[in-house]
Structure 1
Amino acid sequence: MLDAAAVQAFVLVADLASFTRAAAALNSSQAAVSLKIRRLEEALGRRLLDRTPRLVRLSPDGATFLPAARELVAAQHKAIGAFTQEERRIGVAISHHIVGADLTTLLQHLHRSDPGLVVEVRITTSAEALAALKDGSSDCAIVLNHDGRRRDGEVLFTEEFRWTAVPDFDFRPGAVLPLATQASPCNVRAMAVSALDKAGIRWSEVFVGGGAQTIGAAVRAGLAVAALARRVAPIGTVDVGRKLGLPPLPARDVVLLSGTGSVTKRQAIKLLGRSFRALAGR
């Protein structure tokens, strides 16, 4: 008999290409995950992973075993839910400042971890995400903790912000900095303009967007500089803060907040948190 927990650990390592990220997703240690997979390999009599100091990848036997391993994990979730009639569905509101193109990877990871879970995702502002949690239209919210006063959420990771622009963005010291921002009120906008004002750098909004993706489009078009989280910065853009002499931007904790909900929903939200932490380590 195979250890189902070891099989799940193997699937996570295969998906995330990292023992460290798999351990974070399982809320475990790297050593514990490594031990589980070593025992799984011993039970199968096969080497499933090729390990190097910088790389973890599937061996030929691991690639053969992975589809069956996914089926086993899915069967385990189905078995656990055999005695409940409640549909496993959660509503999630996520700040647009902390999820971008990697949303695809997040959803893949959630589906692979629990194929029967239905996830309703809303990408919005932190304020609207918190409002959705309060009125019950979302079961949980993943937002930036700007003021540090929220103590009721689970800190998933710390997000870094940077001054983002195209590599050849032209700005001369002493000139007015063209800025792309989210419409006010927005805490990231307030953070950015406060940093510029304290540094004595003149700025002017030349583009006001309705979300991080629209702001990113203006940045890629070469219209302006924007304060964006590392993970939502568009492909082809770079951190120009040091090059342009702009003040450093503070980091912000990303927190998961949830309502009471049922045991089923709480388990699903816990899975979401593990998936988000694993994604942050990529």
Structure 2
Amino acid sequence: MIDPPLDLDAVWAFTLIADHGSFTRAAEAMQTTQAAVSLKLKRLETRLGCRLVERTPRHVQLSTHGLTFLEHARALRGAHDRALTAFSGARRRLIIGISEHVAGPDLPALIARMNAQDPHLIIEIRIASSGDLLQSFDRRELDAAIVRLHVGRDDGEMIAEERFVWYAAPGWKHHADEPLPVATLAEPCGVRAMASQALDAASIAWTEIFVGGGVAAVVAAVNAGLGVAALSPRMVPLGAVDVGARLGLPALPRLPILIHSRAKEDRSHNALAALAAAFRSAVRG
């Protein structure tokens, strides 16, 4: 009797579990349920006759067999995608806009996740402010936009909510008799508006000490000891410290990250689902 072939969908589920370190994130990338992903993995393990993933209350990690099989699983996925590409005509291009305050240092890993999802999809990333990206999306210049919540828009799908903290360089001190020096992005910027509104509501005198054209510039200003900045923990420069409690600064609200998409074709839709799942992992992780 000939043994049945491997289920490619189960192999895909396994690679996503390995990439995300989570059954939940893998299910989000596949647009299915965690129970369905668990069942796919169980059937794959039964077919191979070994355990691929070790589950603990806090962690999901590959077993020795899982680490060995991962290379073969990726090869199977790659061969499958190449076979489809050979008969699909021109390579598909996916143009994605990502907000400056959303991309962050995780962007290389996020792009790698998308490439692992579909190595033959051409990915074009554009970085700009949320407002500019939404205008480009409305002009149909983008297939998708990942942005902060924008006033007057309710057509996006929320990926995650991200927290913000007041950061400054270690050893930096504020002179109590002077307005709080704040480093921000140029207007329009949702994080800038959120931070200024929180300070005004708390009746804290403040002044712009630095206006950057990008988050990297704001981070550099913090590192240089110019003042404080409202940043998400993902963006925090090495060594920077949370000074909110010490300076009596107001707590900052969480800001939603949303994805606006018109991608209907399966490959593009699946790649964006993988990207959204990766963002959830980065923000919550």
**TM-score greater than 0.5 by the shorter chain:** yes
Task: Provide closer, same or farther for how the CA distance between residues 46 and 265 of structure 1 changes in structure 2, counting only shifts above 3 A.
Answer: closer
Which residue of the partner structure matches residue 221 of structure 2? 218
Deviation at 1:33, TM superposition (A): 2.0
Deviation at 1:47, TM superposition (A): 1.7
Alignment of 1:1-282 (within 5 A): 1-147=5-151, 149-173=152-176, 175-259=178-262, 265-282=268-285
Query: Aligned with 2:102: secondary structure?
Result: coil
Percent identical pairs in the alignment equals: 47
Deviation at 1:41, TM superposition (A): 1.0
Deviation at 1:69, TM superposition (A): 0.3
CA-atom RMSD in angstroms: 2.2
Deviation at 1:103, TM superposition (A): 0.5
Does structure 1 retain, via aligned residues, the 8 Å contact 2:130–2:150?
no
Structure 1: gaps of 5 or more residues = none
Residue range with higher mean Cα deviation, 75-84 or 128-137? 75-84
Residue range with higher mean Cα deviation, 78-87 or 205-214? 78-87
Does structure 2 retain, via aligned residues, the 8 Å contact 1:180–1:219?
yes
In 2, the alpha carbon distance for the partners of 1:154 and 1:36 equals 27
Deviation at 1:260, TM superposition (A): 6.2
In 1, the alpha carbon distance for the partners of 2:261 and 2:227 equals 36
Structure 2: gaps of 5 or more residues = none
Task: Provide closer, same or farther for how the CA distance between residues 243 and 121 of structure 1 changes in structure 2, counting only shifts above 3 A.
Answer: same
Structure 1 residues 187-233: Cα deviation after superposition (integer angstroms, max 9, x where no partner): 22122112111111111111110111110111122211111223222
Does structure 2 retain, via aligned residues, the 8 Å contact 1:162–1:241?
yes
Deviation at 1:266, TM superposition (A): 4.3
In 1, the alpha carbon distance for the partners of 2:268 and 2:104 equals 25
In 1, the alpha carbon distance for the partners of 2:207 and 2:15 equals 49
In 2, the alpha carbon distance for the partners of 1:234 and 1:192 equals 18
Deviation at 1:119, TM superposition (A): 0.6
In 2, the alpha carbon distance for the partners of 1:236 and 1:36 equals 43
Q: TM-score, normalised by structure 2?
A: 0.89
Q: TM-score, normalised by structure 1?
A: 0.90
Structure 1 residues 101-140: Cα deviation after superposition (integer angstroms, max 9, x where no partner): 1001101111111111111111111122112223333221
Deviation at 1:10, TM superposition (A): 1.0
Query: Aligned with 1:141: secondary structure?
Result: strand
Deviation at 1:234, TM superposition (A): 2.3
Residue range with higher mean Cα deviation, 80-89 or 35-44? 80-89
Does structure 1 retain, via aligned residues, the 8 Å contact 2:29–2:270?
no
In 2, the alpha carbon distance for the partners of 1:279 and 1:78 equals 29
In 2, the alpha carbon distance for the partners of 1:11 and 1:274 equals 14
